[in-house]
Amino acid sequence: MHFLVLPCLAAIAIDCVGARVLPSSHIVHEKRDAGSNSNWVKRDRVASHLKVPVRVGLKQNPDALEQAAQWLMDASHPESSKYGQHWTQDEVIEAFRPSTGAVDDVLNWISETAGIAKSKIVHTDNKAFLAFDASVADLESLLQTEYHEHHHEASGRAMITCDQYHIPSHLRDHIDYITPGVKGIQVKSSELTKRSFRPGHMGPGGWGSGPWGGGPGGWQPPKQRPPPFMPHPHNQLSMCDVAITPACLQALYHFRPLSPHAEVSPHNCMGIFEEGDFYAQQDLNSFFTNFTSYIPNGTHPTLDSIDGGMAPVANVSDAGGESDLDFELAIPIIYPQTTTLYQTDDYYYAEGGNGTTTGILNTFLDAIDGSYCTYSAYGETGDDSVLDPTYPDPNGYQGQLMCGVYKPTNVISISYGEQEQDLPAYYQKRQCNEYLKLGLQGVSIFVASGDTGVGGIPGDGSANGCLNNGTVFSPTQPNSCPWLTNVGATKLYPGQTVYDQESAVVDLAGHPYRSAFSSGGGFSNIFPIPSYQSSAVATYFADHNPPYPYYYNGQYNTSKGLYNRNGRGIPDVAANGDNIATYVGGKFTLEGGTSASSPIFAALVTRINEERIKIGKGPVGFINPTLYSHPEVLNDIVNGTNPGCGTAGFSCAPGWDPVTGLGTPNYPKMLGLFLSLP
Ligand SMILES: *[C@@H]1O[C@H](CO)[C@@H](O)[C@H](O)[C@H]1NC(C)=O
Ligand SMILES: *[C@@H]1O[C@H](CO)[C@@H](O)[C@H](O)[C@H]1NC(C)=O
Ligand SMILES: *[C@@H]1O[C@H](CO)[C@@H](O)[C@H](O)[C@H]1NC(C)=O
Ligand SMILES: *[C@@H]1O[C@H](CO)[C@@H](O)[C@H](O)[C@H]1NC(C)=O
Ligand SMILES: *[C@@H]1O[C@H](CO)[C@@H](O)[C@H](O)[C@H]1NC(C)=O
Ligand SMILES: *[C@@H]1O[C@H](CO)[C@@H](O)[C@H](O)[C@H]1NC(C)=O
Ligand SMILES: *[C@@H]1O[C@H](CO)[C@@H](O)[C@H](O)[C@H]1NC(C)=O
């Protein structure tokens, strides 16, 4: 029944739509923002007979979203009677699904208005959206809109999109959004009309979701410098102020390697995310041979290749400083437990997609949780068609986007990130919900907190990378999501030993590295302070109030403040991240960065999980609530700052601080605490 627009269907759409009268029962559901601009050019109306895939993103159960943070606390707060009771993936999907009544209302509207049989409308496995194919003409009448082609000249990509669309008002609270809609869908140019090109203009609307930002934002590789001479044998501790070896880490954090013949759980691998950076087996071999005689030559991670990601490199001179560093730190801590390498994205996209993609981590999350591939939230269903890679990729991996092909490991370490300002807030919030869901399932995720102190990456938005034309502190992401564990960097200063207290890394002069380095920290402009952190942050402000003006609710444009007083604090914890002994590219070298701190902390939690599994308990999952309740299991770091934006940054202090969080691991104390929990 096309009762809403019956007269239109018989006519040439373009004339008819002009005369279309919107039924009073309908409202505008989405409208393109005025003022957005991009390199996308609006062209012809889309041929009315073209069949397009339609997705109706359903709003998640609103009660579930409100309760989700509490569910995560129930499973991970040490005083909860449900501590350690993680959820299965099916339980997570079931809890967040929209109500049956809501789904039926939307189904009835589609089938009655567009004349599409309900049997042809798929309710996806994750319950998050309805999918069907429709002709452009039917969809235009369903949504009371008209579709135009948009072309991206530089890349040759083409999209179908509209400026606004309508739905019956009673469905407003059930539907998140619809594609194609204001958010376009990509189509092959060959599917589109071949009518002559009329240079379009964006009019007042513009293209809503064009490539964002642009500047050289993005992940910074760990810093490298030539080493001094190395002491022999390497297990001596007299030179830990010069180079951090596995023996230095053991002494600093009070743990011993496992016996190389120990029986370990095959299901407790440690996962490490890499993208656009690749390990070399020769480097790992050199490292193990020189520094860890208990690890056999040839030891390597298990490759979980995501969307064409490949490793290791064939030629050691192509080795990446991040990947080599991660595995040379993690394997010596957890061996004979094994590592899983999540090598993400084909080479074309891993190297930036020729400047087109600035998103991060979505394709990785798709691969370890299939429900995320089609997850609808904040106006986005599935990956971002502009910011994220699109598969099959004509320039690389020819397969479909990988969805749920790998099980997430109990612990995942990520030494990559950007600044909050580099990605839209909706992108970060949608991704943050996924971290919460992974936490519910017992996965611990560790992320390096960034290497530019309170500032941003120079050149990203402003000369020094800071907000508001270079004045306001720039928080890092994905770190600002409250459901991750962020790891800052510490160091030993010259002349200090493993028996001294570490300090926060601060190296403003860029010596001996080529650029300044201070441990990333501060307060999110997007995410509020989570409950588990609120008293730690309040204590910091009460006892060690920073000497800077501040603002509230992320409003950095509207005041003279430098940081968000009620934002999620970063980092949560810290570990050594300077002068790390590594082999990279066939050479012995020293590396620095919070890139090193994350795998160190994550590896120790993998060890704790192993001990829990041995006595019949489960993995620890999201550890922040436990650590904030028991800061005594960490070595409090009280010296150092994290300069940036022309300021000294924040200062370390007794207790939590936005430089080194709660501190570095005291392994025996952490182990004892987590073994005592259910
Ligand atoms: C690694 O071991 C080789 C062979 O023993 C030795 O020549 C080399 O100096 C060592 N490298 C380092 C950094 O200790
Ligand atoms: C490690 O293995 C590689 C490749 O098999 C070999 O070339 C190298 O000599 C080995 N190194 C040692 C110390 O056994
Ligand atoms: C490895 O790469 C280097 C530098 O590009 C090159 O000189 C060398 O010939 C390559 N080695 C092999 C075996 O391809
Ligand atoms: C990358 O972009 C440049 C210019 O923007 C273009 O000339 C080149 O063909 C593009 N390469 C690919 C593989 O798309
Ligand atoms: C931004 O800062 C630069 C350098 O301090 C200055 O020249 C420029 O006028 C500022 N722009 C705005 C919009 O304040
Ligand atoms: C802050 O101002 C900048 C430029 O002045 C603008 O691009 C940005 O969208 C503003 N951000 C907010 C949150 O208003
Ligand atoms: C404290 O940190 C500063 C750098 O911020 C460093 O120069 C100094 O040596 C550190 N002091 C101690 C006792 O570690």
Three-class SS of 54-91 = EEEEECCCHHHHHHHHHHHHHHHCCCCCCCCCCCCHHH
322 labelled catalytic = yes
Residue 512 Cα to ligand 7 middle (Å): 16
Q: Is the CB of 515 under 6 A from ligand 3?
A: no
Query: Does the annotation flag 637 for ligand binding?
Result: yes
Question: What is the chain's mean pLDDT, rounded?
Answer: 87
* Ligand nearest to the CA of residue 234, numbered in listed order: 1
Query: Does the annotation flag 636 for ligand binding?
Result: yes
pLDDT for 583 beyond 80? yes
d(CA 480, CA 568) in angstroms, rounded, equals: 6
As a whole number, mean pLDDT of residues 531-537 equals 98
Per-residue pLDDT tens for 253-286?
999 999 999 999 999 999 999 999 999 999 999 9
595 labelled catalytic = yes
Per-residue pLDDT tens for 120-167?
998 877 788 889 999 999 999 999 999 999 887 766 778 899 999 999
Do strands 503-504 and 485-491 pair parallel, antiparallel, or not at all (unpaired)? Answer: antiparallel
User: Running DSSP on this structure, what letter comes out for residue 641?
Assistant: B
| CB atoms inside a 10 Å sphere around CB 658 | 29
pLDDT for 61 beyond 90? no
Q: Which of 3-12, 432-441, 518-527, 539-548 has the lowest mean pLDDT?
A: 3-12
The fold of 223-527+576-636 is Rossmann fold (3.40.50)
What is the residue extent of each domain of the chain?
3-60+97-191, 223-527+576-636
Q: Which of 246-250, 285-289, 375-379 has the lowest mean pLDDT?
A: 375-379
Report whether 87 contacts 440 (CB < 8 A): yes
Q: One-letter amino acid identity for 359?
A: G
DSSP string for 162-203: -SEEEEEGGGTTTEEEEESSSS-EEE-GGGS--PPP-----T
The whole-number pLDDT of residue 124 equals 79
Residue 474 Cα to ligand 6 middle (Å): 13
The whole-number pLDDT of residue 552 equals 96
Nearest CA among 599, 640, 611, 670 for reference residue 246? 599
| CB atoms inside a 10 Å sphere around CB 599 | 31
Q: How many residues does the chain have?
A: 678
DSSP string for 1-18: --TTTHHHHHS-HHHHHH
Q: Is the CB of 290 under 6 A from ligand 1?
A: yes
CA–CA–CA angle 530, 363, 328 (5° rounding): 80
Of residues 604 and 558, the one with the higher pLDDT is: 604
d(CA 483, CA 437) in angstroms, rounded, equals: 9
